[in-house]
Amino acid sequence: MFLKFKNEAERVLKDALEKASYEYKDLTLDLDESEHADLSSRIAFSLARTYKKPPATIAADIVNHLELPTGDMLIGDAVAVGPYINFSVNDSFLRKTLQGLKNGIAADRKKEKIILEHTSANPDGPLHIGHLRNAIIGDVLVRVLERAGYEVETQYYLNDMGRQIAVVVWGADRIAYDETKKADHAVADVYIAANRMLEENDEFLDEVGELMRRYEAGDAEVVRKYEVAVQKCLSGIQASFKRLNIQHVVFVWESTFARSGAVKGVIEELTRKGNIKLEGSAILLQLEGIEKALVIQRADGTSLYTTRDLAYHRWKGENCDRVIDVFGKDHELVSQQLSKALELLGVKSPEFVIFAFVSLPSGSLSTRAGRYISADELMEKIEERAYDEVDKRRTDLDDSKKREIARKVGIGALRYDMVKVSPDKHIVFDFDDALDIEKKGAPFIQYSHARACSILRAAQEQGYVAVSKDYDASRLKEPSETELIKKLSKLGYVIEAAAADLKVHQVTKYARELAESFNLFYKYCPVLNAEDELRKARLGLVDCARIGLRDVLAVLGIEAPGEM
């Protein structure tokens, strides 16, 4: 609803500028949200220069020429305040916002289909907190885009051809998996132990190399061994995804591109179209604007990760309208090379969401060195901590109910924390901080939602109709009521903006503000004790707030408990 209001205000402003004969062509008409008005224009500042008049005079002049539309419109008023032109909404805007929430607003269906890639962690162990950032940013982005009306397919690129996996497969022949452990953790044990053996005895290195060659060639026995190892790790990763409330991902195996001939095709085409340098039998591709030449084929004729990734991205590009990759900062150069090479191939370039690293106070993360905190360990501990908090507050509930709430609160807190910060901020992970449930953003929002549910429950218990079909929204005149409605009206607008900019952390900020608005309403506007018509209207508003809070949490992939 807010976007409609904004469009309307911009149109009205444009008409006024024309009527007052101001030349505004090069200037932006874009209106800003402001604490002083629902929307505000600063255009008078820009016009002041060319027209050599004080901005306040120009603003007043524009407002004099401004005609508020008649009929069923959303603008309440437009006034000049000094150099600013401030627009406010009318009652109809508020009423329509509530109506829209009640009916469930469907976003305009976008035509584009998007393939979004996230996580793509090597299947050599469990997800650690670095992967967590990737997975959660990616998953929230998927939810934002879907909510904004896009069709999204989420893919996890499975690097099954790397050295790491060869080391796991090699190790699995010599070391037994610990079957008492979660599968991906058992794989990590073998991986770490195998690495140690390889460091101590470099004759083994040839055996690992042999495995890689046979796997690329499609040797049946080796392929079978690989599949066992990769699937084992994958089952663990999928279990973690499920627990994290990560939506369905399609696993795409790297090796399929090597074996299908797609990689060969890419090499041939780049050799034909690109600026190529040969060093022995190795093929190097010189890309524009990138100093370092990109090796696309080894001297021994085998393929490289980059080339296989190129084949994968070509395939993605040909099967959808937009390709989005959520990558770590270490892939930044790779992503540039990817774009340039795809350009040569005539395939559209992906859009990248690059996130900075998560490190420990003791340094960077490493699966091989066993220096990492697994996502599972973190989830385990944060759920435990959340349970302590629930237990403290709700002695009346039975244990399974408390566990259920603790799970939602714990995982929610974790997810919120991971996306609330802009992706380009480096994070030093602090365990105590991560587990401190009381200072988290998610429980604050979940709590507001629970309060809304609680009011509706109490209404029913007291024999009222919790949500009447018709109520008089014009009775909602308290500042905390109108503020809450205005905040609710921005839900769709915020999601559209986040989808357009691919910036998910904006949604967390909005979610907090919405909860804050509801808490103020809760504080200042008694619902059940209000007189009949007002109670009906307030119950209607509570229900809309419940929907808004639930929806914004859903976009963040956070479950909304009905009580806490």
Partner RNA sequence: GGGCCCGUGGCUUAGCUAGGAUAAAGCACCGGCCUUCUAAGCCGGGGAUCGCGGGUUCGAAUCCCGCCGGGUCCGCCA
Dist. CA 515–CA 443, nearest whole Å: 10
Q: How many chain residues bind RNA (CB under 7 A)?
A: 92
For 171, 191, 218, 225, 272, the CA distances from 221, given in Å and listed in that order, are 16, 20, 9, 6, 36
Judged by CB under 7 A, which of 527, 552, 558, 559 binds RNA?
527
Only segment of 140-148, 264-272, 294-302, 485-493 that touches RNA (CB under 7 A): 294-302
304 interacts with RNA by CB under 7 A: yes
Would you give the DSSP letter of residue 356? -
Q: Which is nearer to RNA, 136 or 320 (CB)?
A: 136
Handedness of CA 380, 233, 145, 417 (dihedral sign): positive
Handedness of CA 161, 167, 171, 173 (dihedral sign): positive
**How many C-beta atoms surround the C-beta of residue 346 within 10 A?**
10
427 interacts with RNA by CB under 7 A: yes
CA 269 to chain centre: 35
Residue among 359, 475, 422, 376 at smallest CA distance from 95: 475
424 interacts with RNA by CB under 7 A: yes
What minimum distance in Å lies between the beta carbon of 410 and RNA? Answer: 9
Residues 197-226 that bind RNA (CB under 7 A): none
Q: Which is nearer to RNA, 249 or 494 (CB)?
A: 494
Dist. CA 473–CA 95, nearest whole Å: 6
Q: Which is nearer to RNA, 55 or 317 (CB)?
A: 55
Quote the radius of gyration of the chain (alpha carbons, Å). Answer: 28
Judged by CB under 7 A, which of 56, 197, 295, 466 binds RNA?
295
Judged by CB under 7 A, which of 314, 451, 475, 490 binds RNA?
451
Q: Which is nearer to RNA, 97 or 159 (CB)?
A: 159
Q: Which amino acid is at 320?
A: C
Q: Which is nearer to RNA, 111 or 439 (CB)?
A: 439
Q: Which is nearer to RNA, 375 or 418 (CB)?
A: 418
What minimum distance in Å lies between the beta carbon of 76 and RNA? Answer: 15
Beta strand residue intervals within 224-293, DSSP E: 250-253, 275-279, 282-286
Q: Which is nearer to RNA, 248 or 292 (CB)?
A: 292
Q: Which helix (H) or strand (E) holds 20?
A: none
Q: Which amino acid is at 131?
A: H
Q: Which is nearer to RNA, 320 or 445 (CB)?
A: 445
Q: Which is nearer to RNA, 310 or 320 (CB)?
A: 310
Characterize the bridge pairing of strands 358-359 and 427-428: parallel
Q: Which is nearer to RNA, 62 or 320 (CB)?
A: 62
Judged by CB under 7 A, which of 109, 529, 531, 532 binds RNA?
529
Q: Is 202 exposed, middle or buried (0-12, 13-18, 19+ CB in 10 A)?
A: exposed
The backbone torsions φ and ψ at residue 228, rounded to the nearest 5 degrees and listed phi first, read: -60, -50
Cβ neighbors of 198 (< 8 A, separation 6 or more) are 167, 204, 205, 208
Give the x-and-dash track for 233-272 against RNA (CB under 7 A): ---------------------x------------------
Residues 145-164 that bind RNA (CB under 7 A): 159, 161-164
Only segment of 36-44, 132-140, 188-196, 370-378 that touches RNA (CB under 7 A): 36-44
What minimum distance in Å lies between the beta carbon of 205 and RNA? Answer: 12
What minimum distance in Å lies between the beta carbon of 290 and RNA? Answer: 9
Q: How many CA atoms lie within 13 A of 298 on its CB side?
A: 9
Residues 394-413 that bind RNA (CB under 7 A): 394, 405, 409
Three-state DSSP at 494 gives: helix
Q: Which is nearer to RNA, 59 or 116 (CB)?
A: 59
330 interacts with RNA by CB under 7 A: yes
- At how many degrees (to 10) do helices 220-244 and 183-200 cross? 130
Give the x-and-dash track for 461-500 against RNA (CB under 7 A): ----------------------------------------
Residues 344-403 that bind RNA (CB under 7 A): 356-357, 359, 364, 386, 389-390, 393-394
Farthest CA pair distance, the chain: 88
Cβ neighbors of 86 (< 8 A, separation 6 or more) are 34, 36, 37, 38, 39, 40, 41, 78, 79, 80
**How many C-beta atoms surround the C-beta of residue 400 within 10 A?**
7
Residue among 112, 105, 132, 110 at smallest CA distance from 121: 132
178 interacts with RNA by CB under 7 A: no
Residues 39-58 that bind RNA (CB under 7 A): 40, 42, 45-46, 48-49, 55
Q: Which is nearer to RNA, 247 or 502 (CB)?
A: 502
84 interacts with RNA by CB under 7 A: yes
502 interacts with RNA by CB under 7 A: no
3 interacts with RNA by CB under 7 A: no
What minimum distance in Å lies between the beta carbon of 493 and RNA? Answer: 12
439 interacts with RNA by CB under 7 A: yes
Judged by CB under 7 A, which of 26, 523, 531, 532 binds RNA?
523
Judged by CB under 7 A, which of 140, 522, 543, 558 binds RNA?
522
Residue among 389, 378, 469 at smallest CA distance from 415: 378
